[in-house]
Structure 1
Amino acid sequence: MAVAPTVYNGFERDLLMIIRLVLAAALILILPLVSVAQDLSKDQLLAELTFDDLDQHGNGFIHLGHVEEFRQFVFGSMDQDEDGHLNIEEWVRWDYGFRVLSTELDRVEAYETALKVMFAVADRNGDELVSETEHRKNSLAAFERADLNNDELLTEDEYLGGFTILVAIRAALQPDD
C-alpha cells in the first residue's frame, strides 16, 4: 500500500524549520556530554544537520528548489522590520544555529566578522541593505559555486565543502581545520 507524501503548508513548514533549528542548538549544548565515536567537530555536525534539513526526501542530495525554499524562510525570519530588506543588524542578529557554538569556542568575534563579510558579499549594489533579490542571487551563486560537477544537485560533500556561508562560518569557528 503506497503512502502519500506529507504536504505542509507554509506555516507548518516554517514551524518545522524552527523546531529543527532549536533541536540543532540543543544538540550543540549536549554534545560535550556525549562521547562521539567519529572524529567530527561540532560545526561539522551542525552543518550536516542543516544538509539533512534541506534534503527533504532523504536521498542524499539537495536541489536548488530545496535551497530556495530554505532561503525564503531565512529571509522572512531575518527581516524583522518586514521592510523587504536586510540591514547589517538583522543579518548579524539572525542565528544560523552556530551562535551557541561560537560562544562555547570563544569565537564570537570571528563568527560575527564572517557574517559581516557575507553581508558585504550579498549587498551587491553597496547600499548597505540586502534586498530579497540580492539574497536570492547570493544563494544561487553559492549553490553554483558548491556544485562541482555541474549536475544541478548538491551532495552532502559539495554542500559542506562549498556552500559559501557554511564555509565562512566554519572557517571562523575552526580556523585550524
Structure 2
Amino acid sequence: MALKHLIAAFLSMSLAVPAAAQPDAGRAAAEIFAQEIDADGDGVISDTELQGFGDSVFASIDLDGDGAMSEEEMRDWRFGMSDLAEFRERTQAYDTAVAMAFDIFDRDNDSAVSPDEHAAAIQASADYADLDGDGALSIPEYLDGFIFNVAMRSALVP
C-alpha cells in the first residue's frame, strides 16, 4: 500500500475513535509505519528497507521539490502525525518535538535538511535503537527506540 494511502487510512480510523479509547494512538501509527517499512514482512527492518522508506518520506515532505526539507515542511507533513496532534489538542507539543528533531537532522545548521543529512539521521536513529547490535531493527526496537518515532509519540501524550 502506498505511504499516502496507508497513513490516510490510519488517520481516518483514529479520528473516528474518541481519544480516551486510544491510549497510544501514536504507537498504533508507528506500528503501521513499521509494517510498511518491513517490505518483505519478515519482522525485521533492514538498513536497506529503512533507508528506502526514508527516501520516500523525504520526497513526500519536500513539498516544493527543491531537494531540501524545511522545518515548516517537516511540521506540516500531512502523512505524519500532525493531524493526530491537532485532533488531540497537542499541536504545540508536536511542533516543539518537530523543531527539536529538525535541529538534530540539520547538521550544518543551514535551516534545511538535505537528503544526505536525512539519511544520516535515520542511520543514527537506527543505530541507537539497535540494542542487540545486529545491524537491523526488530519491530520492538523500532517502536521503542527509533528517535523520531519516540519523540513524535511522546508529543501526543497529554
Relative to the length of structure 2, the TM-score reads: 0.91
Superposition pairs of residues 1-177 of structure 1, within 5 angstroms: 16-32=2-18, 41-174=24-157
Deviations 1:47-85 (A, max 9, x none): 111111111222211111111111111111111222211
| Partners of 1:87 and 1:100 in 2: CA distance | 19
Is the CA contact 1:25–1:97 (under 8 Å) kept in the aligned structure 2?
A: no
| Partners of 1:74 and 1:50 in 2: CA distance | 11
Is the CA contact 1:122–1:138 (under 8 Å) kept in the aligned structure 2?
A: yes
The AA in structure 1 aligned to 2:88 is: L
Runs of 4+ in 1 over 2 A off after TM superposition: 30-33
| Partners of 1:96 and 1:144 in 2: CA distance | 25
Aligned partner of residue 136 in structure 1, secondary structure? helix
The AA in structure 2 aligned to 1:146 is: A
Query: Which runs of 5 or more structure 1 residues have no equivalent in the other structure?
Result: 1-14
| Partners of 1:75 and 1:144 in 2: CA distance | 19
| Partners of 1:105 and 1:25 in 2: CA distance | 12
Structure 2 vs 1, CA of residues 55 and 73 (structure 1 numbering), >3 Å: closer, same or farther? same
| Partners of 2:44 and 2:13 in 1: CA distance | 23
Relative to the length of structure 1, the TM-score reads: 0.82
| Partners of 1:51 and 1:152 in 2: CA distance | 16
CA drift of 1:96 comes to 4.5
Aligned partner of residue 82 in structure 1, secondary structure? coil
The AA in structure 1 aligned to 2:4 is: I
| Partners of 1:164 and 1:95 in 2: CA distance | 20
Is the CA contact 2:4–2:79 (under 8 Å) kept in the aligned structure 1?
A: no
Comparing both chains, which one has the higher relative contact order based on Cα–Cα distances under 8 Å and sequence gaps of 6 or more? Answer: 2
- Comparing 111-120 and 17-26, the one that deviates more: 17-26
| Partners of 2:62 and 2:82 in 1: CA distance | 18
Query: Which runs of 5 or more structure 2 residues have no equivalent in the other structure?
Result: none
| Partners of 2:4 and 2:89 in 1: CA distance | 25
Deviations 1:12-65 (A, max 9, x none): xxx7121111112112123339x78xxx52112111111111112222111111
| Partners of 1:98 and 1:87 in 2: CA distance | 17
- Comparing 70-79 and 92-101, the one that deviates more: 92-101
